[in-house]
Amino acid sequence: MPKWAIPLFLIQTVPLAIFFSLTYRINLIHSRSYLASLLAYFVKKITGIKFIFDTRSIYLKEAETHGIWKKSDPEYRFWEELEKNMFRSADKVIVLASEKESYIKERVPTADVSLIPSPVRVTDFAMPRISRSKGRKSLGIAEKFVFTYSGSLGGLHSADFIASFYSRVSKHVPNPHFLIATQSDPSGIISSLDKLGIRETDYTVLKNPALGDFLPLADVGIHVYPDVPIAPYVSSVKLPEYCASAIPTIVTSNMVSMAKLVREKYFGVVVDNFEPKHIRDKMQKLVKEHSLMGKKAFKLANTYFSVKVCAQKYLEIYNGLLKKTNV
């Protein structure tokens, strides 16, 4: 939002937020975007109500990534100051990934930050072995080493980049196959794969399938980003879904938060560069330790990413803040 529009936004929203807060005796606002948090920030200044700034992404890094603002732009500097004020004022800042916490602490060391990842309902991805065998057989991939990509295509999720990455890693495993699940138009990635010489029989594209019936059929998930400013802070639900499907994940090292988690918990491999020897070594490691990595991924889904675990963390934050309110 350009800075000239912010007063109009606040004039329209702050009075309503105050009205509903007083009418329904609301004493905590949980906001999940920069604009919602900006609203909560001003409501707190007026009424003293507590608020949680639950960051989904980093607004300024997105603006840099998409070429909307440069760091030298007045709009960027304006939002930079607003961002600091919101971090400082929030009673709790929630982040999805470790680098977001570092980003916030660098700007406001006193900010109260908690990390709660994108949650996943693990039972949605449970698949008995016999069902997995039947599913792979029906797709003609029973004897294949299956990579999967789940998510949108276009923008940050460049079809060319994903296809090129798959082409590089698939050369180093036996009988590779690429399963793609997307709600986007798949023509771009199909064209990219064809240009790379990957035969039509060596990939399968499904339009918006039920992921719980799809992802567990794969052997490994791909979660990669080109070198863009937002990459270190990425924290999509893709990774938890792969883990719940009990498959390892391949990530690129520029995705600093995800790469750190993969290395620490050992549920996949991190590709640091695109040198053939490096990729070959990583894929050999993945194939050799695939079973162990899959088990660790599933364990992480249950102990770290599950809805039950994440909901409990939110409840603890709510109870802690409300207890302070009632003191």
**DSSP notation for 121-180:** -GGGG---HHHHHHHHHHTT-TTSEEEEEES--BTTB-HHHHHHHHHHHHTTSSSEEEEE
User: Rounded CA gap, 300 and 40, in Å?
Assistant: 34
Same fold, 3-117+308-326 and 122-305: yes
Q: At a CB cut-off of 8 Å and minimum separation 6, what does 4 contact?
A: none
- Alpha-carbon span 276 to 267, nearest angstrom: 22
pLDDT tens per residue, range 226-265:
999 999 999 889 999 999 999 999 999 999 999 999 999 9
The answer to whether the CB of 309 falls within 8 A of the CB of 121 is: no
Instruction: Quote the tokens at residue 22.
Output: 């007083």
pLDDT at residue number 327: 47
Domains of the chain: which residue ranges? Answer: 3-117+308-326, 122-305
Backbone CA torsion sign across 277, 272, 289, 144: negative
- Provide the pLDDT for residue 325: 64
Beta-carbon-side half-sphere exposure of residue 165 (alpha carbons within 13 Å): 23
CATH code of the region 3-117+308-326: 3.40.50.2000
Decide: helix, strand or coil at residue 38. Answer: helix
The half-sphere exposure of 139 on its side-chain side, counting CA atoms within 13 A, is 25
| CA–CA gap between residue 165 and residue 145 (Å, rounded) | 16
Task: Pick the closest to residue 268 from 287, 132, 225 (CA basis).
Answer: 287
CB atoms inside a 10 Å sphere around CB 326? 6
Q: Which residues of the chain have pLDDT under 70?
A: 325-327
Reference 263, options 277, 252, 279; nearest CA is: 252
pTM of the complete model beyond 0.85: yes
Instruction: Tell which residue, 30, 97, 60, 122, has the closest CA to residue 236.
Output: 97
Domain 122-305, classified CATH 3.40.50.2000, yes or no: yes
**188-219 tens-digit pLDDT:** 999 999 999 999 999 999 998 899 999 999 99
